[in-house]
Amino acid sequence: MPTGSHFVSWAAYRTAYIAQLADKRGRSLSHKWYLDIHANTTIPDSHDHLYDRYVCSPSAAPVVSLVLGVTTNQKNRRWLVTFDGQAAPLFGKQLTIQPKKNTCIIVHWTSDCLSSPSDVICLRPCPGCNAHVPFPAANKYTAVEPQCTFTVSLLRSLILLTDCERIRHNTSVVVSSYSWTDLCDLVVSYYNRLSILPDFSSSPPVADGDSTASSFLRDSPGLPFPVILPPGSHYRYYTDGSLINLRSPDVSMGWSQVQIIHDAGYLNSVATYIYGTIRNWPSSTRAEVAAIYAALSVTLKDSIVSIYTNSQATIDGLRSCASSTYTNSRFYYKTTNFELWASIECCIHAKRLSVLPVKVKGHDGNYWNEFADSLANSAHQSDDAFLLPKTNITSSHNVRLVYDDVTCESNPRRLFKVYYQATYMHDLLSLKRFQFTLCLTDQDDYIVDWDLTWFTLNYSPTHDASFQAHHASRHYTFKFKLFLDELPLLEKLKITCPNLYIDFLTCRSCCNRKEDLMHLILYPKRRNVMHQILQSYQNHLFSKLCEAGELADMDPTPMLRKLSSLSC
């Protein structure tokens, strides 16, 4: 062309071509996309001169491609480039990596790249600076004792290629094949596009007259927004979930979703990402489903959505939601997380989305899936993680089943059964015979371990030559009579048979004490007999627990320690 060639930026491509597709649906020829751009970006009869709003100052296209630091591991430690708190370039060699936190400790090396940006980057050991954080265990990871170390984020770092991958005693200079001029635009672009924290106070720009986008933004309060494409576009998300500390008070579920737009100028095609947490009903599937809900809830109406996940259970549930077979099933309320699934199905039909679940193999080297996995793991410890509000995921029903401020998302029949069992247990313990348990709930003195008590009462040992069915029946009866205070003691017989046992009768062994359960256990003359009975049962119980531990390949020591610590 006589006037030269033009590079098309993403902003011009989006406003001049993609935004016009909705108006040309059925009439646009995709293979002549450049004609649409030409007609909307150049001045008519001006020999291809661009409008002023599309003219950008000339800049060299980046020719360097660096890999994200989050892809490293402890066995494959690399040189990293990142920024410090003063937005100055920071270089270092990885010393140790904390994958769950997406951080690493680096050995700090300095460079004069700012004073000589056109020269290749030369790194030299830092003798020690204000940013140094002592790391006493450094000698475990390197033969050369570092003088300056500190922690950096893997999500904010890029791998720097150098001529030396290993620091030795005689290593004084490490040279990269790039200059800071080569890397500056790439690193700054990476931080501007990828290092995005959720900003809930502002909204993405919306074109004037785009009422659909405005409605979409109002329907999705709280969640960060993706790169918004015109109605009818194809959104692609990689989603993942993470579950840690199951069956402990510190249980946590993290989720993440990564939006992919190919050939749009984004580094590694990653347009945006978001990671967060969700509470209640912990499971790995719930974390995966939460990521899908977060992706669909911020997607524009009348769009095609591809969800890439490594969870087959999530894919099966998503297909049921997309085909409207989920809520029509009689097993709907028996499905765990049914409120979350119902919110997803409601979102799909309300926005008229075409959802295409795609199965990807986990931990198989897929960059976007690994990136989503690392984000989900980092959500547990990150202060920037977005907590998915329960009001968002339980808004599809007018009536919800809530107990103790937790919405029921499991089989309601099971909830009612457990609730009434707990109610009956509470009524049982409120009887006068169990008033002595009130003093056992004092945290300063003693706390009843009800889990261990229930386990002991329901324990059914295996019958063998030394422990047959009638022995098990007698032990079972004895246990529950002790628990229910139904042993035929004298004080009990006075209540059940007052015509046979008069009130002034006392223990026939000491003749001066009432014969109740505590006296039976603590009476010195009978303590040895009672101790032998309880000890024989305890020994048999311990032996069976040891056998079960060997068969299950588990250590029964914690359970044995708890049982042996009981005062009886």
3 state SS of 30: helix
- Given this model, what pLDDT does residue 57 score? 57
At residue 360's C-alpha, the angle toward residues 354 and 361, to 5°, is 165
Kindly indicate the confidence band of residue 239, based on its pLDDT and cuts at 50, 70 and 90: very high
User: In terms of domains, do 355 and 403 share one?
Assistant: yes
Residue 308: predicted pLDDT: 92
Domain count, the chain: 4
Q: What are the two backbone dihedrals, phi and then psi, of residue 446, each rounded to the nearest 5 degrees? A: -165, 145
Pairwise CA distance, residues 393 & 341, whole Å = 9
Structural domain includes residue 5: no
How far is the C-alpha of 303 from the C-alpha of 353, rounded, in Å?
Answer: 5
Q: Which carries the bigger pLDDT value, residue 87 or residue 467?
A: 87
First and final C-alpha spacing in the chain: 96
Same domain, 305 and 443: no
Q: For the segment 306-333, what is each residue's pLDDT rounded down to a tens digit?
A: 899 988 888 888 877 766 666 666 667 7
Q: What are phi and psi of 224, to 5 degrees?
A: -65, 155
- Same domain flag for 151 and 29: no
Give the pLDDT confidence score for residue 206 in this predicted structure: 37
Nearest to 167 by CA among 183, 140, 188, 146: 146
Q: Is residue 209 domain-resident?
A: no
pLDDT digits over 280-299, tens only? 888 888 999 999 998 888 88
Residue 528: the pLDDT is 73
The pLDDT assigned to 362 comes to 81
Range of the domain at 85: 69-193
436 token code pair:
């002595």
> Which of 304-313, 416-425, 501-510 has the highest mean predicted lDDT (pLDDT)?
304-313
Q: How many CB atoms lie within 10 A of CB 151?
A: 15
User: Is pLDDT of 230 > 80?
Assistant: no
The answer to whether residues 281 and 390 belong to one domain is yes
Predicted local distance difference test score (pLDDT) of residue 288: 92
Is residue 246 domain-shared with residue 181, that is, in the same domain? no
Percent of the chain at pLDDT exceeding 70 = 70
pLDDT confidence of residue 465: 63
- Quickly count: other Cβ atoms within 10 Å of residue 170's Cβ: 6
CATH assignment of the domain containing 241: 3.30.420.10
Instruction: Please tell me the predicted confidence (pLDDT) of residue 133.
Output: 73
Contact 537, 545 (CB under 8 A): no
Asked if the structure places residue 77 within a domain, the reply is yes
* Same-domain check for residues 80 and 50: no
Instruction: Note the pLDDT of residue 316.
Output: 83
pLDDT in tens, 108-139: 888 888 888 888 899 988 888 877 777 777 66
Residues contacting residue 314 through CB under 8 Å, at least 6 positions apart: 285, 288, 289, 292, 357
Pair 390, 273 in one domain:
yes
What pLDDT shows up at residue 521?
67
Six-digit token string for 453: 């008590």
Ramachandran class of 77: left when φ > 0, alpha when ψ lies in -120 to 50, beta otherwise:
beta
pLDDT above 70 (res 498): yes
Q: Which residues contact 337 (CB under 8 A, 6 or more apart)?
A: 281, 283, 285, 286, 289, 409
Question: What sign has the CA pseudo-torsion 484, 485, 487, 492?
Answer: negative
Contacts of 76 (CB under 8 A, 6+ apart): none
Amino acid at 529: V
Question: Does residue 64 fall inside a structural domain?
Answer: no
pLDDT at 433: 67
| pLDDT at res. 217 | 35
pLDDT average, residue stretch 367-382: 88
Strands 120-125 and 103-110: antiparallel
| pLDDT score of 254 | 92
Cα of 62 vs its chain's centroid, Å? 36
Q: How many CB atoms lie within 10 A of CB 502?
A: 8
Instruction: Tell me the per-residue pLDDT of 32-76, one tens digit each, with 9 for 90 and over.
Output: 556 667 777 788 877 667 777 766 655 444 457 788 777 788 888
Q: Average pLDDT, stretch 192-204?
A: 39
- Three-state secondary structure call for residue 391: helix
Q: Is the pLDDT of residue 490 over 60?
A: yes
Q: Which region among 107-116, 403-412, 446-455 has the lowest average model confidence (pLDDT)?
A: 446-455
Q: What is the pLDDT of residue 3?
A: 44
420 within some domain = no
The mean predicted confidence, pLDDT, of the chain is: 74
Assess if residue 62 is contained within a domain: no
Cβ(48)–Cβ(3) below 8 Å? yes
Domain assignment of residue 180, yes or no: yes
Residue that wins the pLDDT comparison between 347 and 214: 347
| pLDDT given for residue 201 in this prediction | 35
**Buried b / exposed e along 440-470 (16+ C-beta atoms within 10 A):** eeeeeeeeeeeeeeeebeeeebeeeeeeeee
Report the percentage of the chain scoring pLDDT > 90. Answer: 3
Q: Is there a single domain that holds both residue 284 and residue 400? A: yes
pLDDT at res. 253: 92
- Is residue 417, in this structure, part of any structural domain at all? no
Q: Are residues 389 and 464 both part of a single domain?
A: no
Q: Is 346 in the same domain as 464?
A: no
Q: State the average pLDDT over residues 208-229.
A: 50
Do 458 and 344 fall into the same domain?
A: no
Q: Is the domain of 43 the same as that of 82?
A: no
Give all strands of the β-sheet with 304-309 in edge-to-edge order.
354-359, 304-309, 234-244, 252-260, 270-278, 386-387
Is it the case that residue 488 has pLDDT exceeding 70? yes
